[in-house]
Amino acid sequence: MKPVYSLLVVLLMLVVAGVIVMQGEPDEKVGLSGVMELVGDAQRTALKPAMMATRVTPAEEMELGRRLAGQMYFRRGSDNADEAFRKTEQYVKRLGQSLLAGRARKEIFYEFHLVDEGMVNAFALPGGQIFVFRGLVEFVESEAELASILGHEIAHVDARHCVELFQAEMAAEKISGPLLGNTKWLAGIGMRLASRIIQGGYQQYQEFEADARGLKFAADAGYAPDAAEKVMARLGEKYQETKMQPKASDPVAELQIAIKTAAGSYFRSHPPTPERVERLRKLASSQIGKRKFYIGKENLKLRQTRDQNQIEAEFTSK
C-alpha cells in the first residue's frame, strides 16, 4: 500500500473511532485507549515504507545515540567530584542494567547517565542512551518506583520509538543515504528531534506500549508492579501546571530550552493522565498473582541495589 493511501486509512480510522466513542452509552463507550491501539497499528502500517526506506542498523542507531548524548550540555558524573552524587550515579547504572534481560533487541547496548540537576525527569535517546535527573531519584520513594521509570525509558528504545522519530523525519525531508553520513542534517534536525524526545514527542499509543513493556521489565526483575501507577499518580498530583516554552534561535538553543523547561517535570514529558494511571493499575494486577515482589525503600536510601543488599523486609506479602 502506498504511503499516501495508508495515511488516508489512518485518518478514516480516526473518524470511525470517534463516531464509535461518541455513539456509545456512557458506561459502554469504547475506551479511547483501545481506539488508540488500533490507530497505532494503522500508523505503523502507514509508516512502514518510510521506515524501510530509511533503515537504520543497530550499530548506526547506537552511534547516533552517542553523538546526540555528547551534545547534552549539563553536569554528569565525570564533572562532579561529590561522593554522594557518584554513589547515586553508580546506583542508577547498576539498577538500569538489571532490567535489560527481557529486552527484544539484544544487540543494543545501554548506557545510563545521571544528570546533576534537581529537575524531576528522565528520557531516552536512540541506541540505548538513558538519562535520569538527580531530582527524579530524589522524588521516587522506592527502588521499585525508580525501576518502573527506567523500564519505561528502556521500552522506548526497545520498541524503536526513539529512532523512528529520526527515520520519519528523514523520509519527510527525502534524506537519502546512511544516516550518520548526513552530518549537516544531524547537526540541525537531529538536535531538534532530540529536544522533541525530551519534551515528550511520542504518540499516545507509544506511551501505552512503553508503559506495558516497562512495567514488565521491572516486574520480571522482581520489582513490585504497582510501583509504576503509584509514582505516576504522585507525579500527576505534583505537576499539574505547565509553562509556556520560550522560542529558540537555533537547534542547540532549542535543545537547551527543552532540557531546562520540559525536563522540569516528568509529568510534562510523560503526561500521567488518569487513563494511563488506570491502565498501569490493571497491568500491575495482572502481574501480581501469587508472587512476592521487591519494593526497596531502604535500598533507595542506601543507594544499594537489591542484588547488592537484599532486605527481607522489603518483599511484599503473597
Direct distance between the N- and C-terminal alpha carbons of the chain, in angstroms, rounded to an integer: 51
Say if CB 49 and CB 3 are below 8 A apart: yes
Report whether pLDDT(81) > 90: no
Say if CB 109 and CB 128 are below 8 A apart: yes
In this predicted structure, what is the pLDDT of residue 33? Answer: 40
Q: Is the pTM of this model over 0.85?
A: no
In this predicted structure, what is the pLDDT of residue 13? Answer: 39
Say if CB 228 and CB 279 are below 8 A apart: no
pLDDT tens digits, one per residue of 209-239? 999 999 999 999 999 999 999 998 888 777 6
Q: Where are the domains of the chain?
A: 1-53, 55-314
| Spatial CA neighbour of 219 closest among 297, 286, 301, 311 | 286
What's the average model confidence in pLDDT over 281-296? 83
Side-chain half-sphere of 218: how many Cα atoms within 13 Å?
A: 34
Helices (H), the chain: 3-23, 32-53, 58-69, 83-97, 134-139, 143-158, 161-172, 183-185, 191-199, 204-220, 227-238, 251-260, 266-269, 274-288, 297-302
In this predicted structure, what is the pLDDT of residue 132? Answer: 95
Q: What is the DSSP letter of 101?
A: T
Q: And the C-alpha cell for 36?
A: 488508540
Higher pLDDT, 132 or 13: 132
What's the average model confidence in pLDDT over 254-260? 50
Exposure string of 8-47, with b = 16+ CB inside 10 Å and e = fewer, is eebeebeeebeeeeeeeeeeeeeeeeebbeebbebbbebb
Q: How far apart are CA 289 and CA 239, in angstroms?
A: 32
pLDDT tens digits, one per residue of 125-161? 999 999 999 999 999 999 999 999 999 999 999 999 9
In this predicted structure, what is the pLDDT of residue 215? Answer: 93
Q: What are phi and psi of 167, to 5 degrees?
A: -65, -45
What's the average model confidence in pLDDT over 3-14? 40
